[in-house]
A = this chain, B = another copy of it.
């Protein structure tokens, strides 16, 4: 065990946070006796049941180890290799998964430039020229991130437009919901209202960024896509042997609205952070703060100095834009300390 661990909280990533205490308790509580491995156990049954309380009986729910796995396997279930997946240029699947989607699905990703990480039907239209021509990949999936990588969220009506378009054209709507809780809270909506009810076909439901240790759910609203998914998950190396421990975490998150409480807190902290940073003369908030990401333009010369004292990522070097993320354990004190640091450094 390391002798000395930095326990300070920062704003680099919601992945830098640990595990919510209630999630840890649930893990400990599940650690009793033997249960059948690989998901045929009562913990998993219970967790799936909780998901169905949110999304209705008619969904299929599969747990996997992590977010890239969830995206990649969900997309595999929705595609043949000659298909194309249309997404925002900023999408996690496009930028941050080391090409796993292409590698695993064989599909081409067609990305569109976006403001604020959100795509529209108009941007999908030009790709439809390819339909029916064997020389070109065939548009099959529109993939959106909710909340987006830019901290913004899609309005339900925006998602509905995308899914309507998709379905009219024999296509599907995939949602990377690594931060689905933050989006729901931001929109004051139920989880179903921004997924199932607006026509999402397959969803990566995030756990780790909202207080879990590991584990992500792939949720199929179009159940025909799930037909062979148990094999896809196993062949995709994401069938956990001691599944009960993923399940117990999800049960904790979906019990007593923990998922919502965490996200409310996280989003509130982001608003607060943005509000305070905006008061500093040389800082410009560069994206709407709709979930737990705060993007800001800060004069280049101060960035490295700030990072040394409290690390965060530069998002766009060209325009000197940086990213701050809040997490379930961010405190108002963390924010005031950090804002003070920025003020001092930028003076």
Interfacial residues, chain A to chain B (CB-CB below 8 A): 1-2, 4-10, 12-13, 15-19, 24, 26-38, 42-43, 45-46, 65-69, 72, 80-82, 84, 95-100, 102-104, 106-109, 129, 134-138, 208-209, 213-214, 228, 230-242, 244-245, 248, 251, 255, 311, 317, 327
Contacts and interface: CB of A to CB of B under 8 A. Distances in A.
B46 A33 contact: no
A100 B317 contact: no
20 contacts: A6-B35, A8-B34, A13-B37, A15-B37, A15-B242, A19-B31, A36-B311, A65-B237, A66-B239, A81-B235, A95-B135, A97-B237, A98-B231, A99-B235, A100-B235, A108-B109, A134-B234, A134-B239, A213-B245, A214-B214
B37 A245 contact: no
A232 to B, nearest CB: 7
A214 B240 contact: yes
B46 A34 contact: no
A233 to B, nearest CB: 7
Nearest to A30: B18
Contacts of A80: 228, 231
Contacts of A28: 24, 28
A338 to B, nearest CB: 12
Contacts of A32: 5, 7, 18
B30 A235 contact: no
A6 to B, nearest CB: 6
A10 B36 CA distance: 10
Given A18-B30, A18-B33, A81-B103, A98 B240 contact: no
Contact of A242 (B137, B213, B239): B213
A281 to B, nearest CB: 28
Given A68-B237, A82-B98, A214-B241, 17 more contacts: A1-B255, A2-B42, A2-B45, A2-B46, A4-B42, A5-B32, A7-B33, A9-B33, A16-B34, A18-B34, A19-B245, A65-B238, A82-B99, A98-B135, A103-B235, A134-B234, A214-B214
